[in-house]
Amino acid sequence: MSPAQIIDACVLINLLATGELKSILDSVGRPSLICSIVQEESVYLKTGDPNNPKELINLAPFLNDGTLSVCEIGDENEELLYVDFASVLDDGEAMTLAIAINRGLYLVTDERKARRLFSEQFANPKRLISTSDLIHHWAQEKKISANKLQKTLQKIESRASYRPPTTDRNQKWWIKALS
């Protein structure tokens, strides 16, 4: 079985914004983890309503139906990596990265610093996945219509204020799908 993937908060927010989290993660075909600190981090999305501009997202339904599982720091080596990464990242990013490296998991993050540390220092860059990789894969795997894909990407932009940078390998595809 393919190793699990561990998702950092920056990507989780984007996936939650789509309203298609379960469908997107199901299309990948491997278990999806988040670390306990990311679970505790309050995730807000924009609503577009000026009277109530932000909405706090509840992760419980996705944890209850098994779409996501929570993991904790494990052995001494993970503790060591976690503390080292916490000197240059925030706690959620550091814990996610430490677990990904120590357990040989796929790392799902858009975070430049975390991606750099993952690919430069320790691990296999092929196990590095971004928001756009997941959406691109989902669109192909589930044969998502152009109209639905456009609406999904619009939601990521409007609710999570995210658009991939020009350095992202799927950026041109993303812009085209949006237009």
Partner 1 sequence: MHKHVLNHIDPKTIGARLQEARRASGLTQHAVAERMKMARTTLVAIEKGERRLTPHELLTFAELFGRPVSEFVGRPSVTIGFVPQFRAAWRQYFEKNADLERAATELQSLAEDYVELERLCNLPIVRAYPAPYDISRSTPEQSGEEIAAAERIRLGIGDGPLSNLRDRLENDVGLRIFYFSMSAKLSGVFAYNDTLGGCIGINANHPRDRRHWSLAHEYGHFLTNRFRAEITFLTSTKRSSSVERLADAFAENFLMPASGLNRRFTEMHRASPAGSITLAQICMLADLYQVSVQALIIRLEKLKRLPVGTWDRLSAEEFRPRRAQQMLGINATTPEEYLLPKRYLNLAVLAYEKGELSEGQLSRLLRTDRVSAREYVEKIRTSFNSPAETGYEPFKLDLAQALA
Give strand pairing partners of 34: 70
169 counts as binding partner 1 under rule CB under 8 A: no
Distance between CA atoms of residues 62 and 70, nearest Å? 11
Nearer Cβ to partner 1 (73/99): 73
Stretch that binds partner 1, among 86-94, 99-107, 127-135, 141-149 (CB under 8 A): 86-94
80 counts as binding partner 1 under rule CB under 8 A: yes
Q: Residue type at 57?
A: I
Nearer Cβ to partner 1 (56/60): 56
Closest among 57, 62, 63, 66 to 21, alpha carbons compared: 62
Closest among 135, 164, 112 to 18, alpha carbons compared: 135
Contact map string, positions 32 to 71, toward partner 1, x by CB under 8 A:
----------xxxxx-------x-----------------
Give strand pairing partners of 107: 6, 128
Are 170 and 134 in contact by the 8 Å Cβ rule? The answer is: no
Residues that bind partner 1 (CB under 8 A): 9-10, 13, 42-46, 54, 73, 76, 79-80, 82-94, 110-114, 116-117, 159-166, 171, 175
